[in-house]
A = this chain, B = another copy of it.
Amino acid sequence: MLKFDEAQKIQSIRGALALRAEIESIVDAALERGVRNLCWLGIGGTWASAQQAVCHMKERTGMETFAINAAEYAVVGDLRIGRGSFVVFSSVSGTTTEVVAAVERAKQADAMVLGFVDDADALLARLADYCISYPGNEQLKFFMTADRFLDRAGELPEYAEMYARFDRSLPEALVSVEKAADPFAAAFAAAHKDDPLHYFVGAGTLWGATYSYAMCFWEEMHWLRSKSIHAAELFHGTLEVIGEDTPVTLFIGEDAQRPLGERAARFLAKVNRNYTVIDTRDYELPGIDTAFRGAVSHLVMRAVTGRIDVHLEALTGHDMRLRRYYRKLNY
């Protein structure tokens, strides 16, 4: 398989799961100090991950938890954030301008800040009260943090059992998804690499995946035009520009918003002949109970779309690391 280092992938996910003890001790320490609300801070891809974490939590909790866009917070502030707020962010570089400004503002407001900063020496690693430095796996880090809060609130009784299963089987299960998805991904990339505009539709904990796949992958890394639309919102405007040949891909997960994805599938089947459904249910996850699949649907989807990326890059010859403007131009 193209660009596929199985051992490295398994090790990467296993290492992320092993952060759990450290995450637990940080969440527990914060709860000891008193947490009155929980804020997921992000921008771009991390904004998408923040929305996923909130969506996942809201299925289960009434606690005040929300996503906030780093640029908006840096410019306007947010009166909810202050003493007793626990702010979580993630940054690979550790230098994202808007996140630096936002974290500085949150610190001034006396919030507690947990940063997942891949580069332990970066500015953002120094700014955070609590910092964990481990490469990649941002969504898993966020969900582990969210789940510890739910666990401590008594809102996730399956916490211990679920993570015991994940520790044992998730790395290999996600790698098996990549393998199973690869022929589909190759065919999808070949069929859609020249699309003038590709629509991605999704809901629930896959809405962040939908938004970021369209924006951070197709637009930013492949320089391909795309538009993401929430499966609920599809029916209030965008549907009218979906013709018979419009390229549309629908992400369906196994979380509580699955019915919204299924509704979009029924619509597409009636009006379109150029759509693709990527349904996480179609992928086996050996060792993961059915009841826990919804909590990792976003990771299953990323395993599938990651294979599309590899094939798109090979077919178009466009290096995904290339940027025209980001971090190259001042504005």
Q: Is A78 an interface residue (CB 8 A)?
A: yes
Q: What distance in Å separates the Cβ of A41 from its nearest Cβ neighbour in chain B?
A: 12
Q: What distance in Å separates the Cβ of A25 from its nearest Cβ neighbour in chain B?
A: 27
Q: Which 8 A-B pairs have the closest CB atoms?
A: A44-B236, A62-B79, A215-B237, A71-B232, A267-B331, A220-B237, A76-B256, A227-B227
Pair B66/A66 contact, Cβ less than 8 Å: yes
Pair B257/A233 contact, Cβ less than 8 Å: no
Task: Give the distance in Å from the alpha carbon of A102 to the alpha carbon of B128 in the complex.
Answer: 39
Contact for A75 among B58, B224, B259, B326, CB less than 8 A = B259
Pair B79/A240 contact, Cβ less than 8 Å: no
Pair A43/B223 contact, Cβ less than 8 Å: no
8 A Cβ contacts from A245-269 to B: 256-257, 259-260, 263, 266-267
Pair B232/A220 contact, Cβ less than 8 Å: no
Task: Give the distance in Å from the alpha carbon of A47 to the alpha carbon of B236 in the complex.
Answer: 10
The residue of chain B having its C-beta at the shortest distance from the C-beta of A57 within the complex is B79
Q: What distance in Å separates the Cβ of A287 from its nearest Cβ neighbour in chain B?
A: 27
Q: Is A98 an interface residue (CB 8 A)?
A: yes
Contact for A233 among B69, B229, B240, CB less than 8 A = B69
Pair B331/A266 contact, Cβ less than 8 Å: yes
Task: Give the distance in Å from the alpha carbon of A224 to the alpha carbon of B237 in the complex.
Answer: 11
Q: Which residues of A contact B (CB under 8 A)?
A: 43-45, 47, 58-62, 64, 66, 69-72, 75-76, 78-80, 98, 196-197, 203-204, 212, 215-216, 219-220, 223-225, 227, 229-230, 232-233, 235-241, 256-257, 259-260, 263, 266-267, 270-271, 323-326, 329, 331
Tell me how many chains of this kind the complex includes: 2
Given contacts A98-B232, A260-B72, contact A219 B196 (CB under 8 A): no
Task: Give the distance in Å from the alpha carbon of A234 to the alpha carbon of B76 in the complex.
Answer: 18
Contact for A62 among B60, B66, B80, B227, CB less than 8 A = B80
The residue of chain B having its C-beta at the shortest distance from the C-beta of A71 within the complex is B232
Pair B43/A271 contact, Cβ less than 8 Å: no
Contacts of A260 in B (CB 8 A): 71-72, 75
Contacts of A223 in B (CB 8 A): 240-241
Pair A236/B216 contact, Cβ less than 8 Å: yes
Pair B232/A219 contact, Cβ less than 8 Å: no
Q: What distance in Å separates the Cβ of A223 from its nearest Cβ neighbour in chain B?
A: 6
Contact for A263 among B66, B256, B331, CB less than 8 A = B331
Beyond A69-B230, A267-B325, A270-B331, 6 extra complex contacts between A and B, CB < 8 Å: A71-B232, A197-B197, A219-B240, A220-B238, A240-B323, A267-B331
